[in-house]
Amino acid sequence: MPMARANMASPEVFGSRCAAPIMSRQLDVLGETLHIRGFRRLDSATVHARYRIAVPPGLRGPMPLLFVALERGGPLQVLFDGRPVATGTFPVADLQDFLDPAQGRANELVVGFSGGNGGWVLGPDDLVPFTLDLTPGEHTVDVTYTALPWVDRSDWIRETSIRYSLSPARHWKSFGQLEVIVEVPEADGLYRLKEPNEGTLSGRAVWRFPEIPSNTITVSFTPGVDTTARLLMGLSPFGMALIVGFTLLLLHVRWMHRFRMSGRTGVSKPLVIGVLLAPLGFLLAFLHSYDLIDMAIGPDAGRFHGYTFFYLGLYPIITPLYGLGCWLLDRHWKRQAMLDA
């Protein structure tokens, strides 16, 4: 029996998800320098990670290593003591037990989390193997790649971020000082990262950590918007709908009042028409205010608001309540008009 899977899309578009290139209990990391250079509005970034490693006596010869780099932009470059190191293609066929051809992933590696409730789907290009020819002493390993941004559209203004995973560094034999250098261009907006030891964002900033500070280093950017957009965001769709609804209420009440004060005692057309249209106008104003705010923000709008048209389902709830209030008001004016006559 065929199955269909459907749900609302995620507001987050994943970017590069990269791990440290070396995860070995045999090697000591004397220090790491992580240099992130962002472009434009963090639409991409060059990430350069330099590791100073110590190879203990007695350990020499080739050591195969693996860099896990999901959704990066372009090739990965590796240098060992300043000399280029060839990278290869991961032999996915060697891990047949992890493949899932039933889901159309015959050439992909499915890495599950504990409990089988989620995981990553890795393709051959996401796994970059390389081999270092080790000798005892101190060495440097440089890894450079282009990182793609994460895009979070869950708020009014979309946020882009560049992320680098530090958690694999916990699997080294030891890990020394971490220096993080971030260079980002001048842009109208807000960069977020904790207060640096040197410099500032926008521009060049430097952080130094005696130990691994967190599992992930994240540099985020939220573009700036003009005064009109900020005003509309502050009002919110509900606030804008209240303004429209209150205006429609005043117009409707005035129309009903003039109808009765003119001496008419029959069925009030203003009552019927207004009861049908005023709640609908309030709901439509609420729905279309999302588009109005997005237009004011421009291309940086998140534009991820869910199934807002479901709010129209409130119409059969709001309308009778609104109609009851208007009917009571109209009955009062009707009696008053009859007495005055």
Domain boundaries, the chain: 12-223, 227-340
Please choose, from the candidates 151, 178, 181, 148, the residue with its C-alpha nearest in 3D space to the C-alpha of residue 166.
Answer: 178
Give me the chain's average pLDDT, please: 84
Query: How far, in whole angstroms, is CA 259 from its chain's centroid?
Result: 54
Phi, psi of 108 (to 5 degrees): -125, 155
pLDDT average, residue stretch 90-105:
56
pLDDT at position 246: 97
Burial 50-81 (b: 16+ CB within 10 A, else e): bbbbebeeeeeeebebebbbbbbeeebebebe
pLDDT at position 264: 82
Among 19-23, 133-137, 167-171, where is mean pLDDT lowest?
Answer: 19-23
Handedness of CA 331, 335, 336, 338 (dihedral sign): positive
Select the highest-mean-pLDDT range: 25-39, 52-66, 193-207, 237-251.
237-251
pLDDT tens per residue across span 247-297? 999 999 999 999 988 888 788 999 999 999 999 999 999 999 999 999 999
Place of tokens 């700036």: 224
**How far is it, in rounded angstroms, from Cα 269 to Cα 108?**
67
Please choose, from the candidates 54, 48, 49, the residue with its C-alpha nearest in 3D space to the C-alpha of residue 24.
Answer: 54
pLDDT average, residue stretch 32-39:
91
Question: Residue 171 corresponds to which tokens in the numbers above?
Answer: 């699997």
Place of tokens 């203003």: 270
268, with CB counted inside 10 A (0-12, 13-18, 19+), is buried
Cis previous bond, 24, omega within 30: no
The DSSP secondary-structure symbol of 82 reads T
pLDDT at position 124: 67
Question: Residue 176 corresponds to which tokens in the numbers above?
Answer: 């020394």
**How far is it, in rounded angstroms, from Cα 13 to Cα 259?**
56
Q: Indicate the pTM of the whole model.
A: 0.77
Q: Kindly report the length of the chain.
A: 341
206: confidence class by pLDDT, cuts 50, 70, 90: very high
Residue 111 has pLDDT above 70, yes or no: no
2: confidence class by pLDDT, cuts 50, 70, 90: very low
pLDDT average, residue stretch 292-312:
92
Among 49-53, 119-123, 330-334, where is mean pLDDT lowest?
Answer: 119-123
pLDDT at position 83: 94
pLDDT tens per residue across span 131-144? 889 899 999 999 99
Top-tier CATH class for 12-223? mainly beta
